[in-house]
Structure 1
Amino acid sequence: MTNQLVPTSGSPERGIIVPVPHQRPEHFDAETQERLNRVDDAAFEAIAEGRPENTVTAYGQDWAAWEKFCAETSVPVLGVTPGTLVWFVEWLWEQPGKKAGTYTAPSTIARRVTGVTVSARVDHKVKLEEGVARPARARLTQLKNELAKTRETRGRGKAPALKIPHLQLISAALPDNLRGIRDRALMLIHFSIAGREHELAWLRNRHITRTDEGLVVDVAVSKNHPRIVGIPYGTRLATCPVRNWDAWKTAVEELTGEPVDPDEFAFRRIHAKGKSLMAGGITPEAVGDVITRCGEIAGLDIRLTGHSPRRGFATEAVKKGKEREAKRQGGWSKTSRAFEEYVEEAGIFEENALHGIGL
């Protein structure tokens, strides 16, 4: 706030300092407003260009859901307000899931709200009011609480953990053909880096470096923060991620007759007949399909998903007292709520009040 000297009635030479209010945005002249608009445009462009590719894809899906909602409810597509976002949450809550008999998961709805608000602000340059999504998130919390009272679930629920005994069973069950070699290596590296599906899908050969100690994996594309992960040799040949990565790399080289291309995807697509490679890498969804198929081949009594290796790694590491190391390996923050859930699960038998009470 600027100041202005105002003369007093008794002495023209003397005066008092009084603050002069700053000019409000609605009173800016056209030139000032145009300059601010250019600054906004440059900032939004920089933000949009800096998004990871998987985030761009996810936000595109969120905006497509918003457009479908607007078409069904006659809400203007750029009418992103607290009220329309609450309505959007309630509309999403009633939408069926991918599998028959299921509905959209709360985590997906929360992500949709974020995607819509970011896309509106950055991509469509809509000036949203501060806290525009707060009522929508509050409404989602109410719906989740109501659901909890009935003990119902939505979406797929929590992914079952892929644990060490499962890895051993799967590794033994997978065939030693091209697909089996790839799936075994993918599963073991997925587990070892506590990876997310998109992190595995976007790995290139140059991101996995062989050293005397094992593998150094550069997780360059990540939901939160990229990280460098070390994978030492395993104690069992069948479940050693280093040796199984070597086996997959050798299989590719023998099939193509040349060294692997550093810029090629680490985990290639395989032809339906299973005897030849296809161009490009597998998608994040296909990573999840591989893990699910691995569990089915081994005859596990749980249905694994693409999140199972990450969950299983955290659970197994915490059992061995390696919480700090596990968080670094998987890129969890020190205060991660998701990781704390794994800690609780890992200790339900080790630190149990029933031990030694006479049962």
Structure 2
Amino acid sequence: MGHAVEKRGGIPATAVFGSSEPGSAEAAVPAARQQLSPAALAAMAKGVPAATARGYRGDWARFEEWALAAGLCPLPATAETLTEYVTWCTLTPRPRTGRPYKPASIDRAMAAVAVAHQAAGLPQPSQTGARLVLRGYEAELKTAKDPRGKMRKAAAATPRVLRQMIAATDTTTVIGARDAAALTTGFALAARSSEAALLDWEDVTEAEDDQGLLYDLYRPKVTTDQPLGVPYGSYASTCPVRALRTYRQALLDHGHEPTGPMFVRIDRHGRINTPMHRDGRRIGDPYGRMTTEGIADIVARAARRAGLTARPGDVLPDGNPRWTGHSLRRGYAEATRHAKKDPLEAARHGGWADGSRAFAGYHNRAAAFDEELNPLYGIGL
């Protein structure tokens, strides 16, 4: 196994990217005077969100493999090496798709290289040349109307859309009650699917004077415990308070005590937390907690039931709208813009960092026909 690299103020790359094999990138960097123990490295790795670490590991492995095959040093990498790699990504077909990488994938790969250097306590290679290559590649794709030149976004599940989804859901069944609660709660909290999956019944309490519900929501991506107030909704069908209470009662009616995981597996026959097996052994959370993918599937199924379509910019190249778990989060952001809520407070409620470009992008999209912001209104056109 390769040696851990530890520099002043840096995090060993193995804490984020895992150990390297002999002869790989870390062999190019001298080990520091003291190495961290496997237990310390494992403990540090827990501080990196799992999804982020997985993505960076894959990106770093591809860059490292390419660099070593080209006789170049991946760590530390030079600006020229990074520029050559980005150029290679724009020209080389991927085995899975037969087409070069999308700009967003290349941008993430550059971030992985930067994080690897930061983790090893090394100066990051300049991205100036690589950014110029990427900018030219993006312009080329957009000029050619290539779908790879567009950022794929989830369709927005705004309150109007939520009403359509829930109208097509049989909320008299326990699985329908769960789905309605997941949709409205996910929207009200602007929760990522991974965050909704982590919710326990113990994380929600009744607010004083029956104002609604108070959630203690943990957002791993921003590493905060964030208490959030969820008041009653204006429409009974999409009220997150009523929907959660209906779901809770449905669980009780089916003999399931609402403790532990809030959103649990329910099969089409209404059976709660039925055992799942693979190769003769039981799989899945023993308490029935839904996975991140399961939460996202609730949104996709609800959209299909409602026969929803999306705006042209929110569809895949085959014309199908992208209804995902992120649709609730984007719908929340757009709805707060339409309602002219304070963008800073709206972003903080949804767990976006101050100044988030992603949140600003959702707001800008929602403001396209705002009479106060669109300069074409009121000019006598």
TM-score (norm 1): 0.73
Letter in 1 for 2:153: K
Match of 1:148? 142
Secondary structure (helix, strand or coil) at the match of 1:268 reads coil
RMSD of aligned Cα (Å): 3.7
Match of 2:55? 58
Match of 1:223? 221
Q: Pairwise mapping of residues 1-359 of structure 1 onto structure 2 (< 5 A)?
A: 37-38=33-34, 45=41, 47-63=44-60, 65-66=62-63, 73=69, 81-82=77-78, 83-93=80-90, 94=92, 104-119=101-116, 122=119, 128-131=122-125, 135-154=129-148, 157-176=152-171, 177-211=173-207, 212-226=210-224, 227-255=226-254, 257-261=255-259, 264-271=260-267, 273-278=269-274, 279=285, 280-302=288-310, 303=321, 304-324=323-343, 325-351=345-371, 352-356=374-378
Any gaps of 5 or more consecutive residues in structure 1? 1-24, 26-33
Partners of 1:97 and 1:117 in 2: how far apart?
A: 25
Q: Choose 1 or 2 for highest CA Rg.
A: 1
Change (3 A) 1:91 1:131: closer
| Distance apart, 1:66 and its partner CA | 4.6
Q: Deviations over 1:5-27 (max 9, x none)?
A: xxxxxxxxxxxxxxxxxxxx9xx
Letter in 1 for 2:291: T
Partners of 1:149 and 1:305 in 2: how far apart?
A: 28
TM-score (norm 2): 0.70
Partners of 1:282 and 1:86 in 2: how far apart?
A: 42
Letter in 2 for 1:112: A
Letter in 2 for 1:143: Y
Q: What is the identity percentage for the equivalent residue pairs of Structure 1 and Structure 2?
A: 32
Change (3 A) 1:223 1:160: same
Secondary structure (helix, strand or coil) at the match of 2:230 reads strand
| Distance apart, 1:253 and its partner CA | 3.4
| Distance apart, 1:81 and its partner CA | 2.1
Q: Deviations over 1:78-113 (max 9, x none)?
A: 656245544544455455598x79875433332233
Partners of 1:75 and 1:181 in 2: how far apart?
A: 58
Report the number of matched residues: 319
Asked if structure 1 preserves the Cα contact closer than 8 Å seen for 2:188 and 2:332, the reply is yes
| Distance apart, 1:186 and its partner CA | 1.1
Partners of 2:73 and 2:305 in 1: how far apart?
A: 46
Asked if structure 1 preserves the Cα contact closer than 8 Å seen for 2:197 and 2:295, the reply is yes
| Distance apart, 1:189 and its partner CA | 1.3
Partners of 1:287 and 1:104 in 2: how far apart?
A: 28
Q: Deviations over 1:167-223 (max 9, x none)?
A: 111111112223222221111111111222222222233223332322222231332
Partners of 1:69 and 1:276 in 2: how far apart?
A: 48
Partners of 1:136 and 1:108 in 2: how far apart?
A: 14
Partners of 1:274 and 1:186 in 2: how far apart?
A: 16
Secondary structure (helix, strand or coil) at the match of 2:34 reads helix
Q: Deviations over 1:132-154 (max 9, x none)?
A: 66654453333223323333222
